[in-house]
A and B are shown apart, each in its own frame.
Chain A
Amino acid sequence: MPYRRRRSKSSGIMTNILKWLTFSFLLFGGCWYFYKQYLSFNPEKILSESTLKEKTFSSKPIEVISPRHKIKAYLIEENHAPIISFSFMFSGAGRASDNKNQQGISGITATMLTEGTQNLTSQQFKEKLEDYAIGISFSSNLDNFSGSMITTGEHQEQAYRLLKDVLTAPRFDETDLNRIKQQMQKAFLLQKEHPQSILNLKFAEYLYGDHPYGRNPLGKLEDINKLKRQDLLKYMQNHLAQNNLLIGVAGDITPETLGRVLDEVFGALPQTTAIDFVRNPNVDFKKSDKNIEFASGGQNISRFAAKGVSRNDEDFYPLYVANHIFGGSGLSSRLSKAAREEKGLTYSIYTYMSMAEKSPLLQGKFSSTADKYQEVEDILHREWNKFGQKGATEEEVESAKKYLLASYNLRFASVANLSEILLYMQKDNLGLDFLQNRNQNIKKISTEEVNKAAQKYFKPNGFVSVNIGSFTQNKEK
C-alpha cells in the first residue's frame, strides 16, 4: 500500500501537473481564442459574419453583327441609367505608322476630327455636342487610333448622326488646321519644361533609336506645319477602315438598335486599309544606363525597362502576378517596402507592364532627391536580382491572387469602362467569354509558374535605365 500510496502520491503529482498543464493550456488557448475573436482585429471573422455577400457582375457580353455591312461589335446591355458608350479603335493606325515625313499626322487628325463636319462649322459642331450632352473624342497612341462616344438615351440619334458625319465627312477647315498647328507649336515648348516630360522623350529615344517607337509622341513640328486638308483625308482613307475596326458598346441600347447603328455609323468607311506596318524594334536591354544632367530644385527621376510579354503570351499571367508582387501593388510591393516603407527614401517607386504591340515591356519608375538617389538605385538592383534568382514565396503568390480576384468587379463601375473592356477583349483576342473565365485563369496560376517567369524576365541587372537630374554633385549620405 505504502508503495502504492507513494506511487499514487507521485502519480497524483503527475496528474496534478498534467491537470495544471492542461488547465493552463486551455486557459491560455481560451484567452488567445478570445483575444483573436473579440479583442484583436480579425478580418476573417468580420468577413464571414458580414451581411453583404459576394455577388458576380451579371451582365454578359454578346456579339452583335450588323445586318448589312456585317460590322461586328461586343455589347453589354446595361439599363441602370439612360447612357450609351461606344469605344472603338482602328488597329495599327497609331502614330508609329505615321509616314516618316508626316510625323504627327495621326494626332493632328484625331484633334481635327472634332472640328466640324461638312454641314457644321467647328463652332456649330461644338455647340451641338454641348446642347445634346454628347461626348465625341479621338486619340492616337503608339499602335492604334481610338475613338469614343458617350450619349444620353434621349439624344442618341443625334449622336449617331454626328459620329457618322465626323468619320465620313469631316470638315478640316484651313483656319481650324492653322489654329491647331499654332497650338501644337506651344505644346512642343511646354513638353520640354518638366523634367518628367523631358525624360519620357529621352527614354523612348534611347530605347528605340530611329525606330518609330522612339519618336516624339507629338510628332515633328516641321512635318505638322506642312500638313494640308488633303493629307488628313488621305490619312483617313488609308488608315480608318472596316477591316481594322474594333468596337465595344455598353449601356442602354438593344442588340437590334446597335446592329442598325453600326451600319449607319461605320458602314460608309472604306473596306480595307493601306497601312505601312511597323517593323519590330531591336531593343538592347543590356545597354549602359544614361544619365541626363538637369538642374532642378526637386528630385532625380529614373525610368527603367526590361523585356516584357504581350497579352496573349503564355507567360502573361505568371508575369502579371510576378510584377504585382515586385513593384505593382502599391505600398505592399517589395520595391515600395524596401525603398519607401522601410527607408523613407522615395515617395513613389513602382513597376508595370506596358503592352505596346511591337515591344511589350516590364517598366518602372522612381524618383528621389540627389542625395538619396544612389541608395534607391542600389535597392532596385538588389531587389530585382534577388527576385529573379529566388522568386516569390507561396504566401506572396497567394496574396497577389487574392487581390486580383477580389478587385475584379471594380472595373465595372462606369459604362465607359465597360465599353473599353469590350474593345480590348477584341483587340487582345481574349474571346467573348473572357469575363466569365478570367477568375479561373487567375486561380490556376501556380507559384512555380510565377517563379519561372521571375527568373526569365527579372534577369540579373537585365534592365536599361534613363535618368534625369543631378548626378555629379556631392552626395551626402
Chain B
Amino acid sequence: MAKIKYIIFSWLALCLSYSSVQAKLFGAQSFTLDNGLQVVVAENHKAPVIKHMLWYKAGGVDEKVGKGGTAHLLEHLMFRGTSKVSGESFNEILKQNGVESNAFTSLDFTAYHHILDISKLELVMALEADRMQNLQISPENFALERDIVYQERKQVVDNNPSAPFTESLRKVLWQEHPYGRSVSGTEEEIKSLTLQDVEDFYNGFYTPDNAVLVLAGDIDIQTAKDLAQKYYGTIPQRQMAEKAKFTKINPNVAARLEMSLPQINTPRLIKNYIAPSYNTEKEDIYNLLVFSKYIGEGETSELYKDLVLEQKKALGISSSYDYASRSYGVFRITALPAENVSPQELEQAIDKSVKKAINKLNIDRINNTKDKMLSGLVYLQDNPFNAANTLGMMTSLGMSTEDIENIDEKIRHVQYQDVKKAANKLLSQMAVVTGILNPKGEN
C-alpha cells in the first residue's frame, strides 16, 4: 500500500537522523542484465538470511483512468498461480521452506518481497522469475481476488474514520495529476475491473527492463551475478505499455479543506506542499532533507521547541519530506492543537514559526542539524531487510547506486544559504493544501 513508502521513508530519515562518518552507507553494488533487469546487491554476512525483492516500476499512476486498483489487484493475483505452479502450491512451497512472502503496491511501484534462509534463495528466484513470465489468471481466481481487494479497501481505508479526509486532501492538492488517485481504487472502480484490465497491466509493465531485483544479505556479488543471470537472464523483454504522463502542477494552488467527520474526537491540522523530488529537481532534495530535519523532525526541532514547548499551542508537531517519487515529492507538516487552541490559531502560529526558523538559519544551526543526520549512519549496516527496502525504492525511482551511497556526502555539503533558498521557494512557489479535520458537530 501507499503507506509503506512513508514508513520506509521515515525509517530512512530516522537512520539518517540517528546520526559517524563511514565510507559506505549500505555497501551496495549493482549491475544490469542483458534483458534490462537492474540488480542491486548489499552484502551482509551477519546471519545466513537474505531479503529478495522484485520491484516493478509501475503502480497506481499507470492505471487507465477509471480503473483505479488495477495494479493492486494484479499484485494479489500474482499469488494465484502460473502455468507451471498453482497458487496453492506457490504459497505451500514458500511456507514449507520457511519463506516470509508478501507484496505491496504504491502509486509509483509494485514490489514483491521475500525474507528467507540463504539456502532457499534459488527456489525463491525460480518462483519469482516464473511469475514474471507465466502468470495465469482464471476467471474464478479473478473474481475471488477482486472480492478480497474490495474487503481490503473496506478494512484498511473505510474502517478508518479519518480516511475521507486524507483521500480528499490528496485530490485537492494534486487535482488532475495522477498522484491524486488512490492505490486501492474506489469501491466502484474495484467492482468495474476486468480480467483484461489486469492482464493488460501485467503484459504491459511486468517486463525485466521495467524491474529492479534487490538481494540483501548473506551473499557475495559473484554468486548474486551468477544466480540473477541463471534465473532472470533468459526472460525476454516485452513491449512496454505507455506509462503515466505526469502533468505539470499549478504552483498557484493554495487550497484549504475543512472537514467535520463522525468518530473524530479531536481536531488536527495538516499542511501538504508539493515539493521537488529526485526526478524533478535532483539537487534541491538534499537542502530540503536538511530543512525538514531542522524544522520539524523530532523533539529537538524548531517547530516542536517553539509551538509545543514555548507557546504551548500544539501538543505534537512534525514535518516529513518524501523525495522518492517518480514525479513530484511532498513536504508535510502535521500538528495536534493543544486544548482550547483552534486549528486556525495554530495554523497562523505555524506559519509565523516556520518563517522565524528560516530567518534564524545560520551555519551553526545547519551544522548541528547535519551532525544529527549523519551520526548514526552505521545503523544502516545492521538489518539487511531494511537495507533492501531502501535500496529497492531508491533504485526504482531512478537513483544510481553511487547516488544512494553518497547521500551522506551530499548532506555534508549542504550550505545554510541553499537551505534557506530551497525552503523559501517551497513555501512560496509550490502548491499547498491546508487541511483541518474537526469532530462532527464542531467547526
Q: Do A and B assemble together?
A: yes
Q: Are B117 and A54 in contact (CB under 8 A)?
A: yes
CB contact under 8 A between A409 and B266, given known A130-B298, A346-B151, A402-B97: no
Q: Are A406 and B98 in contact (CB under 8 A)?
A: yes
Decide if A34 is an interface residue (CB 8 Å cutoff).
Answer: no
CB contact under 8 A between A192 and B265, given known A130-B18, A186-B336, A412-B47: yes
Min CB distance A353 to B, Å, is 18
Q: Are B49 and A410 in contact (CB under 8 A)?
A: yes
Q: Are B159 and A407 in contact (CB under 8 A)?
A: no
A-B contact count (CB 8 A): 242
Decide if B417 is an interface residue (CB 8 Å cutoff).
Answer: no
Q: When the two chains form the complex, which single residue of B46, B118, B145, B339 contacts A182, counting CB atoms closer than 8 Å? A: B339
Decide if B123 is an interface residue (CB 8 Å cutoff).
Answer: yes
Q: Are B264 and A193 in contact (CB under 8 A)?
A: yes
CB contact under 8 A between A52 and B158, given known A186-B266, A189-B265: no
> Cβ of B382: which chain A residues have Cβ within 8 Å of it?
80-81, 83, 414-416
Give the docked Cα–Cα distance between A345 and B152 (Å).
10
Q: Are B300 and A299 in contact (CB under 8 A)?
A: no
Decide if B427 is an interface residue (CB 8 Å cutoff).
Answer: no
| Segment from A41-49, A217-225, A280-288 that makes contact with B | A41-49
Decide if A403 is an interface residue (CB 8 Å cutoff).
Answer: yes
Decide if B122 is an interface residue (CB 8 Å cutoff).
Answer: yes
Decide if B116 is an interface residue (CB 8 Å cutoff).
Answer: yes
Give the docked Cα–Cα distance between A242 and B372 (Å).
34
Q: Are B98 and A344 in contact (CB under 8 A)?
A: no
Decide if B418 is an interface residue (CB 8 Å cutoff).
Answer: no
> Cβ of B309: which chain A residues have Cβ within 8 Å of it?
123, 179
Q: When the two chains form the complex, which single residue of B97, B148, B226, B265 contacts A406, counting CB atoms closer than 8 Å? A: B97
Question: CB within 8 Å of A: which of B234-272?
Answer: 262-266
Question: CB within 8 Å of B: which of A282-303?
Answer: 295-299, 301
Most buried by A among B88, B151, B160, B381: B151
Min CB distance B204 to A, Å, is 25
Q: Are B99 and A407 in contact (CB under 8 A)?
A: yes
> Cβ of A357: which chain B residues have Cβ within 8 Å of it?
none
Question: CB within 8 Å of B: which of A3-53?
Answer: 40-41, 43, 46-47, 49-53
Decide if A277 is an interface residue (CB 8 Å cutoff).
Answer: no
Nearest CB in chain A to that of B84: its residue: A41
Decide if B223 is an interface residue (CB 8 Å cutoff).
Answer: yes
Nearest CB in chain B to that of A78: its residue: B46
CB contact under 8 A between A406 and B19, given known A52-B219, A55-B48, A341-B144: no
Nearest CB in chain A to that of B384: its residue: A413
Decide if B162 is an interface residue (CB 8 Å cutoff).
Answer: yes
Q: Are B158 and A40 in contact (CB under 8 A)?
A: no
Q: Are A399 and B95 in contact (CB under 8 A)?
A: yes
Decide if A57 is an interface residue (CB 8 Å cutoff).
Answer: yes
Q: When the two chains form the complex, which single residue of B98, B122, B266 contacts A405, counting CB atoms closer than 8 Å? A: B98
Decide if A132 is an interface residue (CB 8 Å cutoff).
Answer: yes
> Cβ of B149: which chain A residues have Cβ within 8 Å of it?
347
Decide if A230 is an interface residue (CB 8 Å cutoff).
Answer: no
Give the docked Cα–Cα distance between A157 and B281 (Å).
41
Q: Are A344 and B96 in contact (CB under 8 A)?
A: no
Decide if B422 is an interface residue (CB 8 Å cutoff).
Answer: no
Nearest CB in chain A to that of B293: its residue: A130
Q: Are B118 and A55 in contact (CB under 8 A)?
A: yes
Question: CB within 8 Å of B: which of A318-346?
Answer: 329-332, 340-346
> Cβ of A340: which chain B residues have Cβ within 8 Å of it?
148
Decide if B92 is an interface residue (CB 8 Å cutoff).
Answer: yes
Decide if A408 is an interface residue (CB 8 Å cutoff).
Answer: yes
> Cβ of A414: which chain B residues have Cβ within 8 Å of it?
382-383, 385-386
Q: Are B298 and A126 in contact (CB under 8 A)?
A: yes
CB contact under 8 A between A46 and B18, given known A183-B316, A185-B339, A193-B264: no
Question: CB within 8 Å of B: which of A373-405?
Answer: 399, 402-405
Give the docked Cα–Cα distance between A56 and B18 (Å).
32
Q: Are A47 and B96 in contact (CB under 8 A)?
A: no
Range of interface residues on B (Cβ < 8 Å): 35 or more
Q: Are A52 and B144 in contact (CB under 8 A)?
A: no
Question: CB within 8 Å of B: which of A330-373?
Answer: 330-332, 340-348, 367-369, 372
Decide if A133 is an interface residue (CB 8 Å cutoff).
Answer: yes
Decide if B400 is an interface residue (CB 8 Å cutoff).
Answer: no
Decide if A154 is an interface residue (CB 8 Å cutoff).
Answer: yes
What per-residue 1/0 map shows which CB atoms of B93-128 lie under 8 Å from chain A?
101111110000000000000011111111100110
Min CB distance B124 to A, Å, is 10
Q: When the two chains form the complex, which single residue of B98, B145, B161 contacts A193, counting CB atoms closer than 8 Å? A: B161
Q: Are B143 and A46 in contact (CB under 8 A)?
A: no
Decide if A428 is an interface residue (CB 8 Å cutoff).
Answer: no
Decide if A190 is an interface residue (CB 8 Å cutoff).
Answer: yes
> Cβ of B23: which chain A residues have Cβ within 8 Å of it?
none
Q: When the two chains form the complex, which single residue of A51, A133, A368 contacts B151, counting CB atoms closer than 8 Å? A: A368
Nearest CB in chain B to that of A415: its residue: B382
Decide if B331 is an interface residue (CB 8 Å cutoff).
Answer: no
Q: When the two chains form the complex, which single residue of B79, B227, B376 contacts A331, counting CB atoms closer than 8 Å? A: B79
Decide if A477 is an interface residue (CB 8 Å cutoff).
Answer: no
CB contact under 8 A between A369 and B154, given known A52-B223, A133-B18, A296-B159: yes
Q: When the two chains form the complex, which single residue of A189, A404, A413 contacts B385, counting CB atoms closer than 8 Å? A: A413
> Cβ of B265: which chain A residues have Cβ within 8 Å of it?
189-190, 192-193
Decide if A195 is an interface residue (CB 8 Å cutoff).
Answer: yes
Most buried by B among A185, A344, A415: A344
CB contact under 8 A between A57 and B92, given known A41-B85, A301-B159: no
Q: Are B45 and A80 in contact (CB under 8 A)?
A: yes
Give the docked Cα–Cα distance between A405 and B386 (Å).
23
> Cβ of B229: which chain A residues have Cβ within 8 Å of it?
none
> Cβ of B379: which chain A residues have Cβ within 8 Å of it?
81, 83, 133, 150, 152
Q: Are A409 and B383 in contact (CB under 8 A)?
A: no
Give the docked Cα–Cα distance between A193 and B439 (Å).
10
> Cβ of A298: which chain B residues have Cβ within 8 Å of it?
154-155, 157-160
Give the docked Cα–Cα distance between A136 and B19 (Å).
14
Nearest CB in chain A to that of B149: its residue: A347
Q: Are B117 and A406 in contact (CB under 8 A)?
A: yes
What per-residue 1/0 map shows which CB atoms of B127-149 lie under 8 Å from chain A?
10010000000000001111111
Decide if A127 is an interface residue (CB 8 Å cutoff).
Answer: yes
Give the docked Cα–Cα distance between A301 and B130 (Å).
37
Decide if B175 is an interface residue (CB 8 Å cutoff).
Answer: no
Question: Can you give 17 contacting A-B residue pairs, CB < 8 Å?
Answer: A41-B84, A41-B127, A55-B119, A81-B46, A130-B298, A131-B371, A179-B308, A189-B265, A189-B266, A299-B155, A344-B146, A344-B148, A347-B148, A347-B154, A406-B97, A413-B385, A414-B386
Please give 16 more A-B residue pairs, beta carbons under 8 A apart, in addition to A186-B336, A367-B151. A52-B219, A55-B118, A80-B46, A130-B17, A131-B371, A131-B375, A132-B375, A133-B18, A152-B376, A152-B379, A192-B265, A193-B265, A347-B156, A405-B98, A414-B382, A415-B382
Chain B positions near chain A (C-beta within 8 angstroms): 17-20, 44-49, 79, 84-85, 87-89, 91-93, 95-100, 115-123, 126-127, 130, 143-149, 151-152, 154-162, 218-219, 223, 226-227, 262-266, 298-300, 305, 308-309, 312, 315-316, 336, 338-339, 371-372, 375-376, 378-379, 381-386
